Amino acid sequence: EAQVTQNPRYLITVTGKKLTVTCSQNMNHEYMSWYRQDPGLGLRQIYYSMNVEATDKGDVPEGYKVSRKEKRNFPLILESPSPNQTSLYFCASSLARRSTDTQYFGPGTRLTVL
């Protein structure tokens, strides 16, 4: 089954403790991205990647890192999480970056930073 998977689905952590949220897709998609969703602010893009070893900032990249060493994986790294990064995170992928390409979203990771 074609899908985007994220792990963990739920995470509670403390300020400053490094964490990684994994994202994997099995559709051989070139384009992957991360969004965060907050009440009243909608979904906002954090980082995106157009292919292996090609990443770029989205609208809200501060406090986050990403890497794309393999085509299928696109982990989101929080080196020193802070409470304002408490949010619902979604990974997404699409075949390419054309404006007609459908984006497929993962199930989400709910992160709480205390």
Partner 1 sequence: DAKTTQPNSMESNEEEPVHLPCNHSTISGTDYIHWYRQLPSQGPEYVIHGLTSNVNNRMASLAIAEDRKSSTLILHRATLRDAAVYYCILRVQTSGSRLTFGEGTQLTVNP
Residue 31, interface with partner 1 (CB under 8 A)? yes
Residue 10, interface with partner 1 (CB under 8 A)? no
Return the number of the residue (42 or 62) whose C-beta is nearest partner 1: 42
Return the number of the residue (53 or 59) whose C-beta is nearest partner 1: 59
> Is 26:11 a contact under the CB 8 Å cutoff?
no
Return the number of the residue (17 or 47) whose C-beta is nearest partner 1: 47
Which residues lie closer than 8 Å to 40 by C-beta, 6 or more apart?
Answer: none
Residue 25, interface with partner 1 (CB under 8 A)? no
CA–chain centroid gap for 14, Å, is 20
The pairing of strands 19-25 and 104-105 is: unpaired
